[in-house]
Amino acid sequence: MNIKDLAIVTAGLLSDGSHTDKVVYFNNKDLTLIEHFKSSLKRIYNLEDKRFGGNWKRLKEHDIKRVYFCSKELVQKLTKFSPTFTTKPLHIDNKKIYPDCKIPNIIVNSTPKIKEEFLRMYASCDGDVEVHIRYITKEKRYDPRGNVCFIVEHPSLKKQVFEMLLSLGYSPTLERGRLRLCKKEDIIKYCKKVGFVKGCKISNSSRRVHFYWHDKNDVLLLLSYIVCFGIPKPLSKVEKSEENKSKIKKYLSSLLDKIEKGKKLDNLKHKQRRNFLNSKEKKWLLSWKNKQGKFVIYNKNKFRVTTIKIAELFHEKFGKDIDFTTVHWYWRNR
Same domain as 230, residue 120: yes
The verdict on residue 206 lying in a domain is yes
Domain CATH code at residue 125:
3.10.28.10
Predicted local distance difference test score (pLDDT) of residue 161: 97
- 138 closest CA partner among 274, 286, 285: 274
Residue 207 pLDDT: 52
For 187, the domain range is 112-260
List, edge to edge, every strand of the sheet that includes 65-70: 17-19, 23-28, 65-70, 52-54
- Separate counts of helices (H) and strands (E) for the chain: 13, 12
> Is the domain of 255 the same as that of 296?
no
Which H/E stretch holds residue 145? strand 141-151
Contact 89, 97 (CB under 8 A): yes
- Whether residue 107 lies inside any domain: the answer is no
Does 69 reside within a domain?
yes
| Domain contains 92 | no
Residue 163's pLDDT is: 97
Q: Is residue 280 part of a domain?
A: yes
The reply to whether 181 falls in a domain is: yes
Residues 250 and 291 in one domain: no
DSSP 167-226: HTT--PEEETTEEEE-SHHHHHHHHHHT---TT-B-----TTB-STTSBHHHHHHHHHHH
DSSP helix/strand/coil, 303: coil
Strand partners, 109: none
97 falls within a domain: no
Question: Are both 132 and 226 inside the same structural domain?
Answer: yes
How far apart CA 217 and CA 128 sit, in angstroms, is 10
Q: Are residues 213 and 120 in the same domain?
A: yes
Q: Is residue 104 part of a domain?
A: no
Question: What's the pLDDT at 229?
Answer: 87
Number of domains in the chain: 3
Same domain, 256 and 279: no
Mean pLDDT split into 10-residue runs, the chain, 334 residues? 92 94 93 94 92 81 86 94 91 88 95 97 94 87 92 95 97 93 95 96 68 93 92 89 93 94 77 61 78 46 61 84 72 63
pLDDT at 64: 84
- 142 and 255 inside one domain: yes
Q: What angle do CA 89, 93, 99 make, to 5 degrees?
A: 20
Handedness of CA 291, 294, 299, 304 (dihedral sign): negative
- Under 8 Å CB-to-CB from 155, ≥6 apart: which residues? 98
pLDDT at 168: 97
Say yes or no: 153 and 80 in one domain.
Answer: no
| Predicted TM-score of the model (pTM) | 0.78
Confirm if 141 and 193 have CB atoms less than 8 A apart. no
Question: What does the angle CA 62 – CA 63 – CA 69 come to, to the nearest 5 degrees?
Answer: 125
| 245 and 291 housed in the same domain | no
Beta bridge partners of 23: 70
Q: Tell me whether strands 52-54 and 65-70 are parallel, antiparallel or unpaired.
A: antiparallel
pLDDT at residue 151, rounded to an integer: 94
What's the pLDDT score for residue 206?
A: 55
Q: Which of 33, 54, 87 is the last residue of a domain?
A: 87
Domain final residue, candidates 232, 260, 288: 260
